[in-house]
Amino acid sequence: MIKNPKKIVISRTDSIGDVVLTLPLAGILRERFPTAKIIFLGNTYTKPIIQCCEDVDEIWEWAEIEKKHPEEQTQWLVEQDVDTFIHVFPRKAIARLAKNAKIKNRIGTSHRAYHWFNCNYRLHFSRKRSNFHEAQLNTRLLEPLRIGANYSLKQLFQHIAFTKIPEFPEKYSQLLTSDKKNVILHVKSQGSAVEWGIPKFMELAKALDPKKFNIYFTGTEKEAKFFRPEIPKQENIFDLSGQMTLDELIAFIAASDVLVAASTGPLHIAGITNIRAVGLFSSKRPIHFGRWKPLGNTVLVFEDKKSSDLSQPLDIPLRDILRTVESTV
């Protein structure tokens, strides 16, 4: 077992939601090893998310490390004097690098063949077949550090120190008002989830009382090309898609009241910033809410229990979502 680590790397180089559900590890490690330095290795894209976590001391961008020659990568990592490397998201090149740098403690799952050659601590569990939540599964990788894996979702949320929210962008300050509830509709998911469908979101926008709600559509510019022409022309409805950086989106979500979305990164941001996060999920494993529900005290999820056809929009009644959003007034 690993005792008293001094410098720990948490490696998760995938998307926003995955990174959010990995942040509790930083809080748990900080609690157990208060003097250890905690480093998060992630994508450049998710850096704004990681920067919000006060328990992460340093951020490494994999894209920057990849630019180095393999020998330079190894020498650079040796110089960082890391003693513990946790492969939360398995990646062959990173596993090999940690081994080549002779990091003392290298933790990964046993379900990747290359971990048998590159990790000296291998945990035997399957994510795909598990009944546990993704954030709970992540804690299994802490077992070699003598940290148990019996955390509830509430406890894991309490270990996310998501406190360093970016400053709210002044250019959007006139949009959010205190006399109405501010509702974000995040229509698409960049292919990461089964979606509710553009027509349902537009119906929801039109059904909400314009005297009580401001509505903001968000998403990437690429996604907006699919739904922008359908956005209702009303004074209380604003199209912010394709306009925000991730820093700005984090700040805007945190300052809003409600966000409605499928299983996407913005939904997870809403959960950990304590606004009402309304999640729309398929019941099909392994993408069901039992695995991917956002962490947070104000999360409410709806599940399509009827359809197993992932090519079809989620069959979740509009009235249920409408009633939920209206209840925030």
Per-residue confidence (pLDDT) for residue 311, from 0 to 100: 86
Q: DSSP character for 260?
A: E
Which superfamily, per CATH, for 171-326?
Answer: Glycogen Phosphorylase B; (3.40.50.2000)
Long-range contacts of 102-111 (CB under 8 A, 24+ apart): 102/78, 103/77, 105/2, 105/5, 105/144, 107/141, 107/144, 108/141, 109/141
Q: Where are the beta strands (DSSP E) in 110-149?
A: 121-123
The 8-class DSSP code of residue 143 comes to G
DSSP state of 40: E
Same CATH fold, 171-326 and 7-158? Answer: yes
Going 152 to 156 to 159 to 161, the CA torsion angle's sign is negative
Q: Is 61 left (phi over 0), alpha (psi -120 to 50) or beta?
A: beta
Helix-then-strand count for the chain, H and E = 15, 12
Cα(109)–Cα(141) distance, integer angstroms: 8
The pLDDT score that the predictor gives to residue 114 is 96
The single residue listed with the structure tokens 């007034």 is 329
Class of 7-158 in CATH: alpha beta
Q: How many CB atoms lie within 10 A of CB 144?
A: 19
Query: What are the backbone angles phi and psi of residue 274, rounded to the nearest 5°?
Result: 65, 30
Phi-psi label, residue 277: left if phi above 0, alpha if psi -120 to 50, beta otherwise = beta
Let me know the angle formed at the C-alpha of 186 by 307 and 229, rounded to the nearest 5 degrees. 95
pLDDT at 305: 85
Between vectors from CA 199 to CA 194 and to CA 200, what angle results, nearest 5°?
A: 70
Nearest by Cα to 238 from 263, 210, 269, 279: 210
Angle between helices 70-79 and 92-100 (to 10 degrees): 60
Along the chain (329 residues), what's the average pLDDT of each consecutive run of 10 residues?
96 97 98 98 98 98 97 98 98 98 97 96 89 96 94 97 95 92 97 94 98 98 96 97 97 98 97 98 94 97 86 95 97
The full set of domain ranges for the chain reads 7-158, 171-326
- The amino acid that residue 164 corresponds to is K
- Which of helix, strand or coil describes residue 63? helix
- Say if residues 139 and 127 touch (Cβ distance below 8 Å): no
| Residue-level pLDDT at 53 | 98
Starting at the edge strand that comes first in sequence, how are the strands of the sheet with 121-123 ordered?
58-61, 37-42, 7-11, 84-87, 105-109, 121-123
Question: With the C-alpha atoms ordered 98, 99, 100, 103, is the resulting torsion angle positive or negative?
Answer: positive
